[in-house]
Structure 1
Amino acid sequence: MSIQLGGLVSHILLEHFGEIVQKVGSDLFRFGSKTIPLIAMTTNLTKKQIKKSLCALIKYGLITFVPSKNGVVAEYSLHKENVLCLLRYPKYILLIKNRYGEEAEMVLEEILQQGSVTPSKIILNIMNKTRDDKDKSMSVISIRDNIISLITAGYIQRAPVPSTETEDSPVPVLETSEAFAQVLPEIDIRALTLKINGDESIVIKDNSYWRVNFDRLHQDFRDDLLVTAMTRSIDECGGELMRQLLQLMYLRTDPWAPTSNPIPFVELKDCCKKVSDKPLLTQYLDQYLKVMEESCSGVVTSSGNASGGQFILKMGYAIELLVWDLIYSTVQERLGTKAARIFRLVKAKKYIEEEDIQKNAMLPAKESKQLTYRLLEEHFIEVQALRKQSSTNSGPSKAYYLYYIEINHVANMMLETVYKALYNLISRREHERSLNKWMIDKQQRVDTIVHNMRLRGEPEENIQDIEETVTPPEKLALERITSTIKKLSVAEIHLCDTMFILEMYFIYKSK
């Protein structure tokens, strides 16, 4: 297990759930699957505390359990990948807001906050939150429609329920049947409306629990990465062509397959004709496909002639190219352009001797050696010694050294560095907040009071009197704190994007 990942997971759990849940999650990370008595032995927590912590983690999909060998007790395991997803919650919400609007954004945010929740509870919570907000006029029907839209698009899925075969078992097995998963929830609009209007006698019967489908959101993140990369490599029409290829891929291929099934040119051309704002794409479709095939390192390959053949999209290879670009930029930023030149040379030659590096990199011998050893020290390249037996048995054997790149090792090293950097960023951000907690709380209280006063329509003079309770020196200090926290948050977002690319690489490598 990675020490850096363990520290990051522990810090995320502490930030979102508190100290007790963090102890349980960290214990499961260190020791793997464990039963409740074993967790109690190593954490010194009571069984009641452990059970509450496990319930919370199961509700948010961070823990799964299976029957132990004797079948009497359950063994719990932590899902590290889902814990890291907590860092991407703002990006999930922004994605849904951009595609479906503010109401769908509020639906997804409510589900993320609750972990797993019924549609009726989602509607009630959103209506109660926006009851006094005149800027947000929402209805039960519109929220219901947004829930259905997110379910249909696959962003929300049914939470697993105990299997009927294990009803009498001491440890139930959670599952989601395919047939049941496709059934849309039945929402009683009339009962919800009466409940919202203050009729406490109404009892809402809704036993279908739903949660966020992270795979579907990650699929969109991956597609946006590829579209953006193709737009930068070619132009906007090239990016749109990649988007159309992805849409056609999903009609005949599993979304996470490393290589798509063949996509007919005729279907691709028909889809491009429907893109009205990019007429050049249809006009020069053959040329765009040829450029994409030749200049983009074979992400798209063809079979047959351009006007009647088929095209294959290599998703795994595209992610690998993104990882290579990520490594290039990292080497350049950390060690400079000359070191990046040597790194590219080693990648191009696959195996190369030190003398050949000096000749082909067009650098002085001393500087070339220093940069090569620096790359070796930073684990961006590796060296392999090959011994050549002397022609005469009396002399010592000679050896020559070949430098090469092991991308799996480099990607894993970078992923560990990202874990450590994220841990440091989150720690620094929490330190800034705790150090200035009283000032931030004061500003939040003033903002809340001012907001309520504006909703009530009170005079502006009264509002200014409340705002002036925050002194000018405090305002300057708050601006500095806010700027620092904002910079740390932006850096965290960029690191999460880097982590996502590296994680995608290892996902495709495992297929």
Structure 2
Amino acid sequence: MSHQLGRLISQILHRYFGDLVQNVGYDLFTYGSKPIVMITKSTGLTRLQVIECLRTLLKFDLAVFEATGVAITYKLVPDNVLLLIRYPRYLLQIKSKYGSEAELIVEELLQKANSTATQLLVTIANKYKDDKEKNINIVQLKDTFISLATAGYIQQSPVAEIKEGSEIPTLVPVATIVPDLDARVLMQAMANPADVKDTGEIMCLLLKQMYLVSAAWAEESTPTAVTDIREHAKRLTDRPLLMQHLDHYLKYAVRGAGAAERLLCDVIEHLVTERLGSNAARIDSCQEIHRRGRYTEECNPMRRAGQAQGGKAIYLYNVHLYEVAHTAREMCYRALHNLMLVSDETRAKHARALDKQRRVRSIVHGMRVRGAGNTDSS
């Protein structure tokens, strides 16, 4: 666990849950698995406050507990904490695929962590019953809820206290959510600039087939026959040239490991260009070519400065991809932490203006609910 990751984790917990949960979460991140007594001593909080904070972390699947003999220890899950910053993108993905009703359902569920289906739908219907713009209908909410459950975005919560026959929907496991969100990244990265829509659509079809027949994070998917892809492509009437890209091979497979490695190399090359310039990026690219075994005349071994051309001493350089990726990830942690700090400072600086804006919006919304016209509300 790095120092930059700890700072980012602390800032995320502070934004979403406040100071107390931040103290407990950062303490667990720093010292690892600890019982309640040790957490109370190291944080300076009361036992009741620590219990409430741990309850919040466990409720949102940000911590786990383990019984070791008589004592029960608690441990933070940093990967799940990092996923909190993906909530906006997740909601946008849901809205674009299933509409605004699905966005309301998932947003309410994200805030509650878990809820019964009846309670969830009734709460949303009551909250927006006077909103004429959204026009919420309990029947539409139920149909949308069933669609989300069928697609795997909502599932029954594995809680021990659940009574037989009751259903408590909660978010699906992380391993199912993340590939669906990252599919857009693969589509954009693998699409050619000349025909972005066609190649991107083919990649989308391959990923959909991959999720049906292979593991979400498989290094290479099960080969998909071109006839299956062609059947899906025929339904896309707005892609007349799509079929031309499918006649080159009999079967297609998604090589996830190779795609992830290629994306990582491109990110690192872009990072080196931004920080050190194009010459350094070209050196890094040459070393990557050497590592892959594709030696070219443009990427000659480097000689020591001042050495004669006829000398035999050649100094070879290589790129440790894992270490460079770790460094790039640390830089991302630091950048995210700084952005969140700046955002919090800006929000605190303009707190009065933001509060006034919220009150004005509330007044306008109330006038519209009472039937006031656009002229009166403006």
* TM-score scaled by length of structure 1: 0.67
Name the residue aligned to 1:451. Answer: 365
Tell me which residue corresponds to 1:51.
Answer: 51
Distance in 2, matches of 1:215 and 1:421, equals 25
**What is the distance in 1 between the residues matched to 2:266 and 2:155?**
35
Aligned counterparts, 1:398-477, within 5 A: 401-458=315-372, 463=377
Deviation sequence 1:407-456 (CA, Å, 0-9, x none): 11111101101111111111111111112212221222122223322332
Q: Distance in 2 between matches of 1:459 and 1:408?
A: 61
Structure 1 position 273 matched with structure 2 position 234: yes
**Residues 1:312 and 1:454: Cα distance change in structure 2 (over 3 Å):** closer
Aligned residue for 1:401, secondary structure, equals coil
For the structure 1 residues 163 and 56, does the alpha-carbon distance in structure 2 shift closer, same or farther, using more than 3 Å as the test? closer
Name the CA shift for 1:243/1:234 in 2 (closer, same or farther; >3 Å): farther
Q: Distance in 2 between matches of 1:459 and 1:280?
A: 49
Which residue does 2:120 correspond to in 1?
Answer: 122
1: distance between equivalents of 2:299 and 2:148? Answer: 57
Q: What RMSD, in angstroms, separates the aligned Cα atoms of the two structures?
A: 2.8
SS in 2 for 1:211: strand
Q: 1:338 to 1:118 in 2, by over 3 A?
A: same
Partners of 1:274 and 1:357 lie apart in 2 by 46
SS in 2 for 1:133: coil
* Counterparts of 1:458 and 1:157, CA distance in 2: 41
Q: Which amino acid aligns with 1:211?
A: T
Q: Determine helix, strand or coil for the equivalent of 1:350.
A: helix
Provide the rounded CA distance (Å) in 2 between the counterparts of 1:220 and 1:80.
21
Alignment partner for residue 258 of structure 2, among 307, 317, 320?
A: 317
Please give the alpha-carbon distance, in whole angstroms, between the structure 2 residues aligned to 1:238 and 1:351.
Answer: 25
Report how far residue 317 of structure 1 moved.
1.0
Take 1:210 and 1:239, find their aligned partners in 2: how far apart are those partners?
33
Q: For 1:216, which of 176, 181, 193 is the aligned residue? A: 176
CA–CA distance in structure 2, aligned partners of residues 233 and 436 of structure 1 = 42
Residues 96-107 of structure 1 mapped to structure 2, 5 A cutoff: 96-107=94-105
User: Highest Rg: 1 or 2?
Assistant: 1
Contact 1:346 1:405 in 2 (8 A): yes
For 1:218, give the aligned amino acid: V
Any residues of structure 2 matched to 1:346-365 within 5 Å, and which?
A: 346-350=287-291
Output the CA distance in 2 between the equivalents of 1:73 and 1:399: 62
Equivalent positions of 1:257-268 (< 5 A) are: 257-268=218-229
Conserved? CA contact 2:286–2:299, under 8 Å: no
How much does 1:224 deviate? 1.3
Could you tell me the percent identity over the aligned residues?
Answer: 39
| Aligned pairs, number | 367
The structure-2 alpha-carbon separation of the partners of 1:234 and 1:61, relative to structure 1 and needing over 3 Å to count, comes to farther
Once residues 242 and 424 of structure 1 are traced to their aligned partners in structure 2, the CA distance between those partners, rounded to angstroms, is: 35
The runs of 4+ residues in structure 1 deviating greater than 3 Å are: 356-361, 398-401, 457-464
Residues 257 and 315 in structure 1, CA contact (< 8 A), matched pair in contact too: yes
2:368 counterpart SS class: helix
Unaligned stretches of 5+ residues in structure 2: 307-311
The residue type paired with residue 264 of structure 2 is: V
Is the 1:63–1:79 Cα contact (8 Å) retained in structure 2?
A: yes
Q: Which runs of 5+ in 1 are unaligned?
A: 165-179, 181-185, 187-206, 288-305, 367-397, 465-511
